[in-house]
Structure 1
Amino acid sequence: MGVLSGVKIIEMVGLGPGPFCGMLLADLGADVIAVERPAADAGNPRPWELCSRGKRSMVLDVKKPGAVETFLELIDGADALIEGMRPGVMERLGLGPEVCLARRPSLVYGRMTGWGQYGPLSQVAGHDANYVAVSGALWLATQSGQQPDAPPGLLGDVAGGALYLAIGLLAGILRARQDGQGQVVDAAMVDGSAHLLNFAISFLPDHYGGSFEKARPAALGMHWDRPYLCADGEWIVIQAVEPKFYAELIRRLGLDQDERFVNEQRNPAAWATLGDELSVLFKTKSRAEWTRLLEGTDTCFAPVLAPEEAAAHPHNIARDIYKTIDGVLQTAPAPRFSVTPSAELVSVPPRGAHTKDVLAELQINSKRTGDRGQATAVGSPG
C-alpha cells in the first residue's frame, strides 16, 4: 500500500542515513528488504530500530558459503539497492556495482557515504558534524561568534544524506523504467548539505548585500526575525518578514502607535534597540500566554516546542503527525498523497523476522546460506 507500491528495494543495513532512506521509501509503499546483521555481530540494542519500520527483515552473512549468491538473487527482481559501507567494502565482498549491474542492468545502485566515493577524504571516518563542517552548512547555520552546533543528525545524515539518496534512487528508477539502464547513485552528505546552501545563496544579493556573513542566523539582529525568551523560561520565535505580517505583529503587541516600530522595520540602525525592547516585553508573559495571544494570526509566530510537546499540539494532532507505537513516539510518513495514502504504522519487525519468507520467495533452501540464513553483512561505515 502506498504510492511506491510495486517498487522493490534491497537495503544492506549500515549506519543511520541508509536505514532512514529505506524507512522513507518503505513509508511510501516500497517493498524494502533489509539485509541485517545477526544480533551477535551487530550488538544490542538493535541500532536505528525505528528506521526498520515498514520493512521486511532478513539476516544474511555474506562471508559464508552461498550467501553472496543469495544476495545477488535478491537483486534479480529489485529496482534499487541501498548500501552505506565505506568505499570499496562492497567490492571486496563481491557485491560492488560492476557485479550487481552486470547481473541486473536496470538496477539503481545507491551508495550512501559522508565524503563520497572519491576525493582525498573518501576513505576517512567521519560523522554528520564533520561532513557539514566541511560543506559550509554548519558555518552558515551558526550565529556569528557562537559555538557551531547543528541539531544532531538532521543537517547531514538526514537532509544532506538520506533525502538526497531517496531522490536519487527514485530519479534513477524512473529513468531505468524508460530505457532499462541502471546506474550508480553516489549520495554523499558533504555534497547534499552543500547543495542545501543554494537556498540561502539565492537571497544574498537582495537580502544580505552579497555577504555570507550577513546571512547567518541573527547576524543582523533583526527584531522581527528571532527567538525571544518568555517569563517562564520557555521560548517563542517570530519571523514577520513581510511588511503586512510585521504590521499585524506590532498591532497585536500594542506597538502600532510607536513610530519607531511602525517606520523602522528595515532600518538596521534601529534593530538592536527595538529588539531589546521586545525582549523586555516578551519576558512579561509566559509562552502559553503569548501563544494564546498570537498563535493562529498572521504574525508569523510559533512556540518553540520539544518533540513531546509537539506531539500534543492541536495542529499536529489534527494532522496526525505524531504516533506512539509500542510505547515509542515517532512521526507519521510524509509527504501525503490523495489517491495512494501510505500504510498505517505498525510494530517494527524483529531482526530477521522475514528471513524464511524471503528465502522461500527465492526458492532457496536455508541450508545454503548457513546458520539458516542468519549472519551479517560486514564493513566499516563511510
Structure 2
Amino acid sequence: MLPLKGLSVFDFSTLLPGPLASLILAEAGADVVKIERPSSGDEMRTYHPRVGENSANFVMLNRGKRSLCADLKQPEVVERVRALLERADVLIEQFRPGVMDRLGLGFEAIHAINPRLVYCSISGWGQTGPKASVAGHDLNYLAETGILGLSAGADGAPVLPPVLAADIAGGAFPAVMNIMFALRERDRTGKGTRLDISMADNLFTFHYWSIGSGTSGGGWPKPGAELVTGGSPRYHVYKTADSRYLAAAPVEERFWQRFCQIIGLPQELRDPEVDKKAAIAEVQRRIAERTAAYWCDVFAGQDVCCSIVTTLEEAMDDPHVIARGLFDHRVKSGSVALPALPVPVAPVFRSVAEVRAAPGLGDSNQELLGTI
C-alpha cells in the first residue's frame, strides 16, 4: 500500500507550484481532485506544445489526478465544494492572499466545518507583509532575493536561469514537506493547521554560504568573484576545441592536484593563493586545445569531478539514467503517452502504475458532485 493511500487532497492551484506539489502527493497514493474553471480550466492546459487536447506542460504536472469544474463565483457551487471539503484531508491553494476568504473558502471558514484539514497556501511573498499582494513570477522572486544578482554572465549582466527555482524549490517542495509535517502533527493532536508557504522566503535557503559570508564579516559575495560564482579555477566552465564545454569542479585539494596533473597546469598556478584569474585563463587555454570527447576520455575514472555539459536530450539518454529507470513511468493524454515527470519520491513510496492519465477537464464532476 502506498503511504498516502486514502488521503483526500483538493487542489485549487494552477500553473506550476501547487500542481507539482499535488502531483508528488498523487504519486505517493493520494486521491487528488483538481478544482478548475468551467470551459477553460487550468491556464496551463492552453500552453504549447500540444499533446492531444492539452499542453505537454499540463499533462506532465497532472498525472493521476481527477478534475472537477467549479465556478467559484457562484455561491451555490461554492456550497457544494464546501460539502466536499468537509471530509478532505488537505487543501492546496495558490491565489493572492484574501481571495479564498472572499470566495467563502478561506481557512477559518473551512476549519469551522473540518478542523482536521491541512490548509496549504502557496504564494510569492507569503500571506503577510508589505509585498503580500504584489504580483510576481519566478524571475521576480529570484531578482528580489539576491540570487539573480549573483548570476552574472561574461558581460556582467545577470543570466536568465533556465529552471523555475522559486516555483519548484521555493514553492512545491516546501509545500509537500510542510503538508507531511502537518499530517504527522494531526496524528498527534487530531487538528489540522494553516500553512503559509512563501516562495521568496524559501529562496533564501540557497544563500546559506553567502549569508554566512556577509553577516560574519567575510564580505558580501560578488558575481563572478566567489568559489561558486566563477571566481575560482576549481569551480568553472571551460570551452573545448569543438565549442562544447567542460564543467570542472575539482574543489577539494586531492581532486584539484589530480586535475592539474592531467591537464599539465604549471606548478606555480596550482597554489590556492595564486592569481586566480591567471589560473583560470591558463586552464581555459589548455582545455581549449582539445575536444570534449578527448577530455571525456582523459578524465574518465580519474575522480576529478569533471563533466561535459550535455543537452537535455543527451542527459535523458545517458545509460545511468536509463539504468535507474527514471523515465520508465508514463503519462497518457488521449492516445499519446509521454515520459512521466520524475518526482522526488523514493520508488518504494511511488505509484507502481507505469501508465496513468492526466485528467480531462471536469472528468470527475458527475462522480464527485453526485455524492453530495
2:7 is matched with: 7
Q: Could you say what secondary structure the match of 1:332 adopts?
A: coil
Describe the superposition over 1:304-350 as per-residue Cα deviations: whole angstroms up to 9, x where unpaired.
Answer: 22221210112211212235653545532324244x34433533222
- State the shift of 1:205 in Å: 8.7
Q: Could you say what secondary structure the match of 1:196 adopts?
A: helix
- State the shift of 1:351 in Å: 2.1
1:229 aligns with 2:235: no
- Choose the corresponding residue for 2:277, options 262, 272, 280: 272
Query: Is there any run of 5+ residues in structure 2 with no aligned partner, and where?
Result: 48-53
Q: Could you say what secondary structure the match of 1:185 adopts?
A: strand
- State the shift of 1:182 in Å: 1.5
Q: 1:204, 1:215 within 8 Å by CA — same for their partners in 2?
A: no
Q: 1:144, 1:217 within 8 Å by CA — same for their partners in 2?
A: no
Structure 2 CA distance for partners of 1:228 and 1:137, relative to 1, 3 Å: same
Q: 2:124, 2:141 within 8 Å by CA — same for their partners in 1?
A: yes
1:351 is matched with: 361
1:127 aligns with 2:132: no
1:39 aligns with 2:39: yes
1:73 aligns with 2:83: yes
2:256 is matched with: 246
1:211 aligns with 2:216: no
1:292 is matched with: 297
Structure 2 CA distance for partners of 1:115 and 1:60, relative to 1, 3 Å: same
2:51 is matched with: none
1:30 aligns with 2:23: no
- State the shift of 1:95 in Å: 0.3
1:188 aligns with 2:198: yes
Q: 2:32, 2:65 within 8 Å by CA — same for their partners in 1?
A: yes
Q: Compute the RMSD of aligned alpha carbons.
A: 2.7
Separation in 1, partners of 2:91, 2:260: 53
Amino acid in structure 2 at the alignment position of 1:260: E
1:373 is matched with: none
1:176 is matched with: 186
- Choose the corresponding residue for 1:96, options 106, 124, 145: 106
Structure 2 CA distance for partners of 1:231 and 1:329, relative to 1, 3 Å: farther
Q: 1:128, 1:152 within 8 Å by CA — same for their partners in 2?
A: no
TM-score by length of 1: 0.83
TM-score by length of 2: 0.85
Structure 2 CA distance for partners of 1:357 and 1:288, relative to 1, 3 Å: farther
Structure 2 CA distance for partners of 1:318 and 1:42, relative to 1, 3 Å: closer
- State the shift of 1:237 in Å: 0.4
Structure 1 stretch 348-357 or stretch 223-232: which is displaced more?
348-357
Structure 1 stretch 273-282 or stretch 58-67: which is displaced more?
58-67
Q: Could you say what secondary structure the match of 2:67 adopts?
A: strand
Structure with the larger RCO, 1 or 2 (CA within 8 Å, 6+ apart): 1
Q: Could you say what secondary structure the match of 2:357 adopts?
A: coil
Q: Could you say what secondary structure the match of 2:196 adopts?
A: strand
Describe the superposition over 1:230-258 as per-residue Cα deviations: whole angstroms up to 9, x where unpaired.
Answer: 12222120111111111222233344xx4
Query: Is there any run of 5+ residues in structure 1 with no aligned partner, and where?
Result: 365-382
Q: 2:41, 2:361 within 8 Å by CA — same for their partners in 1?
A: no
Separation in 2, partners of 1:272, 1:193: 30
Q: Could you say what secondary structure the match of 1:165 adopts?
A: helix
- State the shift of 1:94 in Å: 0.5
Separation in 1, partners of 2:218, 2:143: 24
Amino acid in structure 2 at the alignment position of 1:68: V
Describe the superposition over 1:142-189 as per-residue Cα deviations: whole angstroms up to 9, x where unpaired.
Answer: 469622234245221111111111212111111112101211111111
Q: 1:20, 1:51 within 8 Å by CA — same for their partners in 2?
A: yes
1:147 aligns with 2:153: no
- State the shift of 1:121 in Å: 1.8
Structure 2 CA distance for partners of 1:10 and 1:41, relative to 1, 3 Å: closer
1:321 aligns with 2:326: yes
Q: Could you say what secondary structure the match of 1:135 adopts?
A: coil
